[in-house]
Amino acid sequence: MSRVPAFMALGVALTSVGACCPVRTGQLTGRWVAIAGENGQGAGIATKPALAQPLALTAPSEACFSNQQLREHFGPGCEENEAEAAASPDLTDDPTQGNQPTPGEVHWYCDRRTVVRVVLARCPGTNTFRVRQLAVSIAAEGR
Amino acid sequence: MTTFDQALSSFRALLEPDGIAVQPTGVAAKVVGPRFSEPIFAVPDVHLCDGKGGDIFLKGNPGKAGKLAATLRAIYRYRNNHTSRAIQLGDWFDIWRVCGKDPMNMAFGAIENAAVFTEILDWDSALGLPHVIGNHDAAFLNAIPNRRAAQPNFFRPGFWVGNNVYALHGHQTTVSPPAGKTFDQVVVHAATVLGQFVPGATWIQQFIDQQHVAEDVKQWLKETFTGQHEDVDANHRAKNPTAPPDPILSGDFVVRENQQQLLSLVAQVEAFPASNGRAADLVLVAHSHVPCVSWSRIGTRPVVIADAGAWTYDKAHLLIAAGDTVAVFNIV
């Protein structure tokens, strides 16, 4: 699976936009964003975009954040998303012994035109995560 | 070797700061010798719904979520310091109730999105808690929760829990076999699904279709693993008046519904190469929501069947097995 090559930012612009609603202005300044790209990962309040450069966060940015924070800022995920495939099953392992924290999680967000898959990696020894990858699909109108 | 009393005492100490007590239900069995060398924690049916009014886990009490989260956190902390095992015995989500009475519906985002469950799902993820797949969360056969998507192998119809304990939900005996066939004639096919299916590797319907069995058996398997199931009436189980055979020492034994069929399933799973010669002394089930212990035999080998109860409505049960004892507790 390829990493997203370019800088990407995902803000609360994911809020549902219905046909009856006023046109939304594209703005990330001052919003909580999760970012991943060639300059690294982070989450926090976005500074003003400048000179077509990667978006910066106001200090201190949070490298690791909780699911509670994610929910507070991004709201609920998709009601339904495609199932993730598994590697070939290994029936000889033993998941019951000892703590085996998930190495990462996936979150899906949907609105009328946009589907976002966010892959998180666990920050070791904690219940917090950092962004590993953002993947965005935006449907063209009428498709 | 951790004794039962040591495991219980340590676990109680982890919940005391939260003001939560671990009280006996009276459902317990004792066997000769330390059969359970590593303490086992088994969480029975939970039935997380959408956190709203019809949620049979919360039953209008958001504090119930905190109690389950604290219990999972205590298991996590216990396991940080002691070799031990944990399992959840199925019906973790109640997809049937949330998704239009269809247990195979994969649109269960409403359960994952319920804010009141965030901490529960945090600890589920931190534990890497293995989940037996039940009849109310049968959709996990095709799609596991997003927060656990990296661990499809932790969701299965049945699990070995160490060398001598097997766990399954217990609903696999409730659908009548195809006409003209007995349960014993088709049990190996159900055991194949129990012992060999892993979500995400293929679809459950495809897995069943690829079995070399008659069409009526395929249909029975689909109904057994993906269909709706009537709840059992578990409140009127008869006491078992027969003294248990060695090595079972004592217990408040009842005659559990379908207990011999459950053990027939486990006997078939034992024979699979992936079982590596393991043989069950204890079978963990749930599904009925009423805790109990019973015993029967696989061949001549006595086996205890322990039903761990549920977290639905006012219930909050936890099964602990360690040393020579298996017992179900109320978390209050």
What average pLDDT does range A105-109 have in this prediction? 97
- Tokens 């954040």 sit at which residue? A65
Torsion of CA B56, B59, B63, B64, to 10 degrees: -30
Q: For chain B, give the percent of residues with pLDDT over 90.
A: 89
Mean pLDDT across chain B, nearest whole number?
Answer: 95
For residues B196 and B249, the answer to whether their CB atoms sit within 8 Å is no
For B84, phi then psi, to 5°, come to -165, 175
Mean pLDDT across chain A, nearest whole number?
Answer: 83
Q: What is the pLDDT of residues A44-100, one digit of tens each?
A: 999 999 999 999 998 766 789 999 999 999 999 999 999 998 876 666 678 999 999
pLDDT above 80 for B288: yes
**Six token digits for residue A71:** 């929910």
CA distance B38 to B163: 10
Residues B147, A67: C-beta atoms closer than 8 Å = yes
pLDDT above 80 for B208: yes
Chain A contact present for B198, CB below 8 A = yes
Q: Is residue B266 domain-resident?
A: yes
B33 confidence band (pLDDT: 50, 70, 90):
confident
CA distance A68 to A109: 16
CA distance B14 to A69: 26
What average pLDDT does range B136-146 have in this prediction? 94
What average pLDDT does range B123-149 have in this prediction? 96
Q: What is the pLDDT of residues B305-322, one digit of tens each?
A: 999 999 999 999 999 999
Chain B residues within an 8 Å CB radius of A97: 38, 83-85, 162
B48-62: burial string, b at 16+ Cβ within 10 Å, e else: bbbbeeebbbbeeee
Q: Which of residues 90-129 of B touch A (CB under 8 A)?
A: 106-110, 112-113, 115, 118-119, 121-123, 125-128
pLDDT above 50 for A118: yes
Residues B113, A98: C-beta atoms closer than 8 Å = no
pLDDT of residue A87: 73
B149-171: burial string, b at 16+ Cβ within 10 Å, e else: bbbbbbbbbbbbbbbebbbbbbb
Strand ranges across the sheet with B22-31: B155-156, B131-132, B85-88, B36-43, B317-323, B325-331, B22-31, B248-251
Q: How far is A51 from chain B (nearest CA, A)?
A: 37
pLDDT of residue B236: 86
A135 confidence band (pLDDT: 50, 70, 90):
very high
CA distance A110 to B117: 21
Looking at per-residue confidence, does A16 or B141 come out higher?
B141
Q: Does the N-terminal peptide bond of residue B247 adopt cis geometry, omega within 30 degrees of 0?
A: yes
Q: Is residue B258 domain-resident?
A: yes
Chain B contact present for A16, CB below 8 A = no
Q: Is residue B30 domain-resident?
A: no
CA distance A114 to B306: 48
| DSSP SS3 for A36 | strand
Residues B113, A80: C-beta atoms closer than 8 Å = no
For residues A34 and A43, the answer to whether their CB atoms sit within 8 Å is yes
pLDDT above 70 for B296: yes
Q: Is residue B154 domain-resident?
A: yes
Q: Which residue from A minimizes the CA distance to B116?
A: A68
Residues A96, B151: C-beta atoms closer than 8 Å = no
Q: For chain A, give the percent of residues with pLDDT over 70.
A: 78
Chain A residues within an 8 Å CB radius of B131: none
pLDDT of residue A7: 40
Chain B contact present for A104, CB below 8 A = yes
The partner residue sitting opposite B143, judged by closest CB among A83, A94, A107, is A83
Residues A99, B113: C-beta atoms closer than 8 Å = no
pLDDT of residue A3: 34
CA distance B132 to A55: 44
The partner residue sitting opposite B76, judged by closest CB among A83, A99, A106, is A99
CA distance B83 to A98: 6
Q: Which segments of chain B are extended strands (E)?
A: 22-31, 36-43, 85-88, 131-132, 155-156, 158-160, 165-168, 248-251, 282-285, 292-298, 301-307, 317-323, 325-331
What average pLDDT does range B2-26 have in this prediction? 97
Q: What is the pLDDT of residues B39-95, one digit of tens each?
A: 999 999 999 999 999 999 999 999 999 999 999 999 999 999 999 999 999 999 999
Q: Is residue B158 domain-resident?
A: yes
Q: What's the per-residue H, E or C state across A101-117?
A: CCCEEEEEEECCCEEEE
Q: Is residue B51 domain-resident?
A: yes
Q: What is the residue range of B265's domain?
A: 4-13+40-324
Q: Is residue B31 domain-resident?
A: no
Looking at per-residue confidence, does B328 or A86 come out higher?
B328
Q: What is the ipTM score, two decimals?
A: 0.91
Chain B residues within an 8 Å CB radius of A73: none
pLDDT above 80 for B232: no
Chain B contact present for A141, CB below 8 A = no
Q: State how many domains chain B has.
A: 1
Q: Is residue B20 domain-resident?
A: no
Chain B contact present for A124, CB below 8 A = no
Residues A100, B123: C-beta atoms closer than 8 Å = no
